[in-house]
Amino acid sequence: MSPERDFSSRPRSRRARPLDLGLLALGVAAVLLSGHAAVAAWSARARARARVDQTRRETEEAQSRARGLEGRPEPAEALAYRGLLTAEASPPRVLADLTALMPSDVRLDAVTLSYGEPLGVQVDVVARTASSYDLFLDRLQRSPLFASVLPGEENRDGELRTSIQMAYRPPGAR
Q: Which residues bind another protein (CB under 8 A)?
A: 1-2, 4-9, 11-12
Cβ of residue 16: shortest distance to another protein, in angstroms? 14
In terms of DSSP bridges, do strands 146-151 and 119-127 run parallel, antiparallel, or are they unpaired? unpaired
Nearest distance, CB of residue 41 and another protein, angstroms = 41
Where does residue 161 rank: exposed (0-12), middle (13-18), buried (19+ CB within 10 A)? middle
**Shortest gap between Cβ of 159 and another protein (angstroms)?**
57
Judge whether 77 and 116 are in contact, CB under 8 Å: no
Could you tell me what percentage of the chain is helix, strand and coil, using 3-state DSSP and rounding each to the nearest 5?
55, 20, 25
Cβ proximity to another protein, 4 vs 153, nearer residue: 4
Nearest to another protein of 1, 110 (CB atom): 1
Closest approach, Cβ 1 to another protein, in A, equals 6
Q: Which is nearer to another protein, 7 or 153 (CB)?
A: 7
CA-CA distance, 32 to 148, in Å (whole number)?
53
- Residue among 6 and 70 whose Cβ is closer to another protein: 6
